[in-house]
Structure 1
Amino acid sequence: MGGSGPSGRDVLRQVISGQRRDVALGSLLGAGHQAGEALVPVLIGVVIDQAVAGGEVTPLLAWLAVLAVVYVGLSFSFRFGARAGERAAEQAAHVLRVQLVTRVVDPRGGAENGRLPGALTSIATEDAKRVGTVAMAVMFGFSALMGLLVGAVVLLRISIPLGLVVLVGTPVLLWAGHLLSKPLERRSEAEQERAAHASGVAADLVAGLRVLKGIGAESAAVARYRRTSRDSLVATLRAARAEAVQNGMVLTLTGVFIAVVALVGGRLAIDGDISLGQLVSAVGLALFLLGPLEVFSWVNADFAQGRASAARIAGVLAAPPDVVPGDARLPERLSGALRLRGVGHGSLRDIDLDVAPGEVLGVAATDPADAAALLRCLSRQADPDTGVIELDGVPLRDLDPADIRMAMLVAEHDADLFEGTLHGNVTAAAPAAADPGAALAAMAAAGADEVALAVPRGGDATVSERGRSLSGGQRQRVALARALAADRPVLVVHDPTTAVDAVTEARIATGVREIRRGRTTILVTTSPALLAVADRVVLLDGGRIADTAPHADLVERHAAYRTAVLA
């Protein structure tokens, strides 16, 4: 899905067409319910004219039986029609949530640009729910229209002037309701934007709660969220006022319309143009029409909110990808050779580097931005602005990002853990045919075996969302064990030991070297323990490669290297 992705209207059409069976069934049953409701006052009028006025018991009982059958029919129609509508709304919202999650986790990226995680969550929940409700609104709208048509036909049979009043007045009311829904649509979109932003800020603050407490920034965080929440409240109140104005105006216009129908019917009865029973039917139908017209008011409001939410969903689904998949394929047996020629991206400039198959390469950057730019290019979250990166002679630009990540794993510093067990987190990316002992070996190499010993139930210990039940050092070791257990031909790790002590770090450095023997490994770090086990170290200084040599030689040669690694 690139820039030519779906629009908001496309999303709405998809919701309705995707649930057309339930929408059609619900509309049919709802129409039956509304038709039955419209027939009730008609039957009451018939009872008055043919049974009550004549004083005969048999016709009265017969018409009451007919009335009972109509009540049973409309009751069951509403029950099963509403069930079909609810099913359509929930299934449509579910389909949208799946599509949104699929787009967000797409290896090509791009959907998250300019959006906080909390904002994406809001779109996948509240907006998807609002758009899903449109399927039910279609059903209720069709049912209400059927009720109006039946009422108009009956009124035309009773009196042509009464029928014309309904047939002329109904489109005018619908048009007025549509015009009144426009401000609600605009303000609903602003409300959802602000609510999503507030949700994103809240998620951001909760994720960094420990850091905020550590630096004593709680008051600043509270002030920031208070401002964001206040903006969201203002937008919500504006949308609520617009909805209240719309509902009030539509209700007023509807009341005037019903009064006109009753007035015309009463005048006709006084003039003797219609019978007493027909007058009762006409007044009953006028009161009945209040229901469908109120439904139209709700449908208009729901469509207004649905259109605003559909536009936000379409914005995510149509977000242009960060990278475009190529159609090239990697060799069946990868050697793990990497080659960078003239690579420039962000702060990086003219990077030329060859990584031999099976080499353990250290990369020490004096500026963290250089390391971040290199990692983005290697994982193909972004393509280099200049130059080319090749894996076994195939340019990464020509490969599908999903294929790249099956061959080369880039484990970033801030990798999160998932809710589940300790062992489940370690084996999350492991090959399906992996030896069960491989996970234990990876845990031992990463020092995560000590984590298993330190927590109740060992490898079966429960890990909470994002690994918050573990300490920072424990999370790092489990994340590194997961990267090692994935057993990719090429592994790139970024600062995997910043939260562990020096003794554990030295053990991890040795373990990583041993478990990755014969496979290409790149250690992007300033840890002297990790750099010391590398075959050689590349020094990135000022966005360029300043030197390449073993760790000990770089310590002697470059003050910048000593400052970055030993300070």
Structure 2
Amino acid sequence: MPAGGATGGSVLRGAIRGERRGVIGASFLASTHQVCEALVPVVIGVIIDEAVATGSTGTLLRWLLVLAVLFLVLSSAYRICARITEAAAERAAHALRLELSTRVLDPRGGADADRLPGALTSIATNDARRVGAAAGVLPYGTAALAALALSAVLLLRISVPLGLLVLLGIPPLLWLGHRISRPLERRSETEQDRAAHASGVAADLVAGLRVLKGMGAESAAVARYRGTSQDSLGAALRAARSRAGHEGAVLSLTGVFIALIGLAGAYLAMRGDISVGELVAAVGLAQFLIGPFQLLTYVNAEYAQGRASARRIEEVLASPAAVEPGGATVPEPVAGSIRLSGVSHGALRGLDLDLAPGSLTGVVARDPAVAGALLRCLARESDPEEGSLSLDGVPLTGLDPDALRRLVLVAPHDADLFETSLLDNVRAGTGASPEEIAPALAASAADDVAALLPEGLDTVLAERGRSLSGGQRQRVALARALAADRPVLVLHDPSTAVDTVTESRIAARLREIRRGRTTVLVTTSPALLAVTDRVVVLDGGTVSNEGPHARLVAEDASYRAAVLA
């Protein structure tokens, strides 16, 4: 069983319950189709006994009409059932994708822990599709069981021994089919896990393609993906072989069972216990039984794969939240005072730090792990292991994460842009006009970027902003952060790819546009640090020095090396 005890049962049952109306209707239609199929050899047997053997033309025409009606009903029922089941499978998969997206985007976080983005995408697509397919095949399983039950009743009416042979033989066959599907279920789960990992690695490599080319590491990246892809291919082949073996074994057992029914019917006909028409009906029913057994084999295989995918989905949905919401509120108006008291988290070690309202503070952390831990705590992506953080005297743990992020914006260094216009990227769905975001564009020097584009602010950017240079992307991302106009803004290395002249302009304008609001610059850029009120130096996860940038440059050799090197 997967880590965390996930079984996938609740996900699979939920998918079926969500489409119960369609499943019930399709089950009725599929059962009607199978019942009509089962009646066809019976009607043919009746035609032989009552029309062919007697030479009655009228009786022959009546029963031929009955046979035509049977074919009309079974054909119509199957077509309508297929449409309903396909729609039900798609709706169930879509509902799971929405549920997964809601969980991944939950402000409390936690769903992406130890999972690559590509792996989450694979779960939301391939695994959701398989669970939806499992819900969609349920009517066929119901129809197959109904057909087997009807066939047993019809054979009992023809001959009690034949009916008992079917009734006593079906349960062991179903049990064996279930047991044979166990390896397929395990290998399907492994196949999906390997495929998700390969998708995650591919997404990472594509995202870092420019960096890899710059480092000349293409061959190492290709080798890594080739190995991951080969693992995924091997798992897929093992799952395919398992499914082929499963279907072959079940069909072999079914063939032996049907042969026994045919032999028993022939023996009874030779003894005169059943008529020629009844023999034809019995043999026809035996041959018909191949269809329901094939359906059960197909349904069982789909369910084995669906259960494996449902477990993976359930693991994501049941992921513990990284932070829990609180019911406290920050008094209006928000001053923006941030206090960290004895905070230990990751690389942070008992950090004490006060950020005064309206201040512009620089934070220099030579260890990226220290900067990362500080940013996660300020964004409340995770709560500190020890100590506390507060905003205007209210502990962050008492605030709802979504409400907190409307007050405190932590803009990461690797912020992504969207495949839409530059204007929409900056206003980020707020509906602000170009005039309203003009100060943010000017302060970030993103107005220069717009001036170079063919359609200005209305130019549509490529996916992740790849149609822009690294420095241009940073300026647009900085404009978006400034346009949000949060009481507290934390910027992480917002200008590493920007030229020094533009960076100096940004530094001067940044101080002006954020005047009166709390701003934190986590950076080693001397141009940005020069305009701060004070700089806090973090070493070993705690404050090692603080003061104006100029004084630290003159007095602190380690600071000078970190900032000016």
**TM-score between both structures, scaled by the size of structure 2:** 0.97
Deviation at 1:436, TM superposition (A): 4.7
Residue matched to 1:562? 560
* Letter paired with 1:448: A
8 Å contact kept, 1:38–1:150? yes
| CA displacement 1:105-147 (0-9 Å, x = unmatched) | 1111111111111111111111111111111221110011111
Deviation at 1:435, TM superposition (A): 5.6
Partner of 1:444: helix, strand, or coil?
A: helix
Residue matched to 1:111? 111
Residue matched to 1:442? 440
Residue matched to 1:157? 157
Residue matched to 1:126? 126
| CA displacement 1:277-310 (0-9 Å, x = unmatched) | 1111111111111000011111111111111111
Relative to structure 1, the CA distance from residue 494 to residue 353 in structure 2 (aligned partners, 3 Å threshold; closer, same or farther) is same
Sequence identity of aligned pairs in percent? Answer: 63
Q: Does 1:88 align with 2:83?
A: no
Residue matched to 1:352? 352
Given the alignment, which residue of 509, 515, 530 partners 1:532?
530
Deviation at 1:349, TM superposition (A): 2.0
What are the within-5 Å matches in structure 2 for residues 452-531 of structure 1? Answer: 452-531=450-529
Deviation at 1:5, TM superposition (A): 9.8
What are the within-5 Å matches in structure 2 for residues 188-267 of structure 1? Answer: 188-267=188-267
8 Å contact kept, 1:185–1:305? yes
* Letter paired with 1:205: L
Q: Does 1:33 align with 2:33?
A: yes
Moved more, 345-354 or 444-453: 345-354
8 Å contact kept, 1:5–1:319? no
* Letter paired with 2:521: L
Aligned partners of 1:555 and 1:116: how far apart in 2? 40
Moved more, 147-156 or 322-331: 322-331
8 Å contact kept, 1:429–1:485? no
Residue matched to 1:420? 420
Aligned partners of 1:420 and 1:155: how far apart in 2? 66
Aligned partners of 1:420 and 1:19: how far apart in 2? 35
| CA displacement 1:416-442 (0-9 Å, x = unmatched) | 111111111111154x6x565222221
Aligned partners of 1:294 and 1:451: how far apart in 2? 63
Deviation at 1:491, TM superposition (A): 0.6
| CA displacement 1:129-174 (0-9 Å, x = unmatched) | 1111111221110011111111111111111111111111111111
Partner of 2:418: helix, strand, or coil?
A: coil
| CA displacement 1:36-88 (0-9 Å, x = unmatched) | 11111111111111112221221111111111111111111111111111111
What are the within-5 Å matches in structure 2 for residues 45-60 of structure 1? Answer: 45-60=45-60
Aligned partners of 1:91 and 1:527: how far apart in 2? 51
Deviation at 1:330, TM superposition (A): 2.0
Residue matched to 1:321? 321
Partner of 1:336: helix, strand, or coil?
A: coil
8 Å contact kept, 2:352–2:542? no
* Letter paired with 1:509: A
Deviation at 1:557, TM superposition (A): 1.6
Aligned partners of 1:349 and 1:183: how far apart in 2? 49
Aligned partners of 1:26 and 1:510: how far apart in 2? 68
Aligned partners of 2:355 and 2:149: how far apart in 1? 76
| CA displacement 1:388-439 (0-9 Å, x = unmatched) | 1100111011111111111100000011111111111111154x6x565222
Given the alignment, which residue of 531, 541, 544 partners 2:542?
544
Q: Does 1:370 align with 2:370?
A: yes
8 Å contact kept, 1:429–1:482? no
Partner of 2:335: helix, strand, or coil?
A: coil
Unaligned runs of 5+ in 2: none
Residue matched to 1:278? 278
Aligned partners of 1:329 and 1:501: how far apart in 2? 41
Aligned partners of 2:6 and 2:511: how far apart in 1? 48
| CA displacement 1:191-221 (0-9 Å, x = unmatched) | 1111111111111111111111111111111
Moved more, 285-294 or 504-513: 504-513
8 Å contact kept, 1:366–1:561? no
Residue matched to 2:141? 141
Relative to structure 1, the CA distance from residue 263 to residue 8 in structure 2 (aligned partners, 3 Å threshold; closer, same or farther) is same
8 Å contact kept, 2:89–2:132? yes
What are the within-5 Å matches in structure 2 for residues 270-309 of structure 1? Answer: 270-309=270-309
| CA displacement 1:525-567 (0-9 Å, x = unmatched) | 1111111111111111222212221211111121111111111
| CA displacement 1:300-349 (0-9 Å, x = unmatched) | 11111111111111111111121122222222421111111111222222
Aligned partners of 1:249 and 1:6: how far apart in 2? 29
* Letter paired with 2:329: R
8 Å contact kept, 2:423–2:434? no
Q: CA RMSD in A?
A: 1.5
Aligned partners of 1:5 and 1:407: how far apart in 2? 38
* Letter paired with 2:469: S
Aligned partners of 1:57 and 1:143: how far apart in 2? 35
8 Å contact kept, 2:243–2:301? yes
| CA displacement 1:466-496 (0-9 Å, x = unmatched) | 1112111111111111111111111101000
Aligned partners of 1:470 and 1:49: how far apart in 2? 82
8 Å contact kept, 1:8–1:307? yes
Deviation at 1:274, TM superposition (A): 1.3
What are the within-5 Å matches in structure 2 for residues 71-82 of structure 1? Answer: 71-82=71-82
Aligned partners of 2:367 and 2:8: how far apart in 1? 43
Give the number of aligned pairs.
Answer: 563
Partner of 1:93: helix, strand, or coil?
A: helix
Relative to structure 1, the CA distance from residue 254 to residue 95 in structure 2 (aligned partners, 3 Å threshold; closer, same or farther) is same
* Letter paired with 1:351: L
* Letter paired with 1:191: E
8 Å contact kept, 2:4–2:315? no
Deviation at 1:247, TM superposition (A): 0.8
8 Å contact kept, 1:366–1:542? no
8 Å contact kept, 1:5–1:317? no
| CA displacement 1:487-524 (0-9 Å, x = unmatched) | 11111010000001011111111222122121111111
Residue matched to 1:337? 337
Partner of 2:289: helix, strand, or coil?
A: helix
8 Å contact kept, 2:265–2:279? yes
* Letter paired with 1:478: V
Moved more, 493-502 or 279-288: 279-288
Moved more, 435-444 or 189-198: 435-444
Deviation at 1:369, TM superposition (A): 1.8
